[in-house]
């Protein structure tokens, strides 16, 4: 049986995340201490105590989630828990890169802070929006996007799981899509409380800025299979930087990434970091393909007691 480590992205943050691990494991404390040093700020204090307004700022959220997830990962590694393949949703892909040995934490935590800043600055506040479309097929979402494309920027941002696709683009077009979604087969359409139209072409300037920073960073060959958000396939060393740039403004093919892992024989998934959204997405994808899987989420110390690798 193959095991996958998967890592959550932005939106999973909450006050207090990672504190139990910081208090109970030296290896986790060292990660938070290193993040504080590299960022020249107490990111640990923001994770543990807030305020939520600061923790929710994109350039703070991204290094905060990266640090929390990496601290938990180091505890699992210390306990001898290993995976055969790894992936992360959007920001979470950086944690997957850390686990694969392609990136070091010192570079990663500074890089994602810049990534968050660039993403926030790419579009003036209030111009962009995102929405989740529930119960629609990919074909119906594509038809909705096509029918509204002349009105402005509207694109598929995240293919999360069967029946859940997130769209992104200019505010008025996304709001119009939400109003019309039920006519195209949606059970529900919800505007998301995000500050920018992530994973849309409007974020291309952010990707280009990130490209400049990536030129100064050393990327190593992954030591295990790592599935890319952009291609939903195993990433090649020479493509990592290019795909990280594209990932900022391209669709995230999460459902397809999970399908790739399922097809490769992965039946045990461990979601590492805050939140449980990935577990829900993976369950729905596995159910669609009638594949029995085990899913465990590790975000609190008590979760370690339930952890099992069969």
C-alpha–C-alpha distance, residues 257 and 90, integer Å:
12
Catalytic residue, chosen from 69, 90, 102, 200, is 90
Cis preceding linkage at 51, omega within 30: yes
Q: What are the tokens at 10?
A: 């932005």
C-alpha–C-alpha distance, residues 70 and 22, integer Å:
11
Whether the CA torsion 280, 281, 287, 290 is positive or negative: it is: negative
List Cβ neighbours of 242 (8 Å cut-off, separation of 6 or more). Answer: none
Catalytic residue, chosen from 8, 56, 199, 200, is 199
Quick one: CA torsion of 26, 56, 5, 233, rounded to 10 degrees? -140
Other Cβ atoms less than 10 A from the Cβ of 263: the count is: 10
C-alpha–C-alpha distance, residues 189 and 205, integer Å:
28
Q: Is 149 a catalytic residue?
A: no
Q: Which residues pair with 14 in a beta bridge?
A: none
Q: Is 289 a catalytic residue?
A: no
Are 282 and 295 contacting, i.e. CB atoms less than 8 angstroms apart? yes
Q: What are the tokens at 237?
A: 């060393």
Q: What is the set of active-site residues?
A: 90, 199
């Amino acid at each position: 049986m193959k095991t996958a480590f998967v890592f959550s992205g932005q939106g999973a943050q909450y006050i207090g995340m990672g504190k139990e691990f910081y208090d109970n494991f030296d290896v986790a404390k060292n990660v938070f201490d290193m993040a504080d040093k590299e960022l020249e700020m107490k990111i640990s204090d923001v994770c543990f105590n807030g305020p939520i307004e600061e923790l929710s700022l994109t350039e703070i959220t991204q290094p905060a989630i990266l640090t929390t997830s990496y601290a938990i990962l180091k505890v699992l590694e210390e306990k001898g828990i290993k995976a055969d393949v790894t992936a992360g949703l959007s920001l979470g892909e950086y944690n997957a890169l850390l686990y694969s040995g392609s990136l070091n934490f010192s570079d990663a935590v500074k890089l994602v802070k810049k990534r968050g800043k660039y993403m926030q600055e790419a579009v003036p506040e209030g111009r962009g929006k995102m929405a989740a479309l529930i119960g629609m097929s990919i074909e119906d979402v594509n038809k909705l996007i096509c029918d509204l494309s002349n009105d402005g920027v509207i694109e598929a941002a995240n293919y999360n799981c069967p029946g859940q696709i997130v769209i992104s683009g200019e505010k008025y077009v996304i709001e119009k899509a939400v109003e019309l979604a039920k006519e195209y087969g949606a059970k529900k359409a919800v505007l998301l409380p995000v500050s920018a139209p992530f994973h849309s072409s409007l974020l291309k300037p952010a990707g280009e800025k990130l490209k400049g920073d990536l030129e100064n960073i050393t990327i190593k060959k992954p030591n295990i299979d790592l599935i890319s958000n952009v291609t939903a396939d195993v990433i090649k060393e020479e493509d990592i930087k290019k795909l990280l740039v594209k990932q900022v403004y391209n669709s995230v093919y999460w459902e397809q990434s999970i399908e790739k892992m399922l097809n490769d024989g992965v039946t045990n998934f461990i979601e590492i970091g805050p939140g449980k959204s990935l577990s829900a997405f993976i369950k729905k994808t596995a159910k669609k393909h009638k594949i029995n899987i085990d899913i465990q989420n590790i975000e609190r110390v008590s979760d370690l007691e339930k952890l099992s690798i069969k």
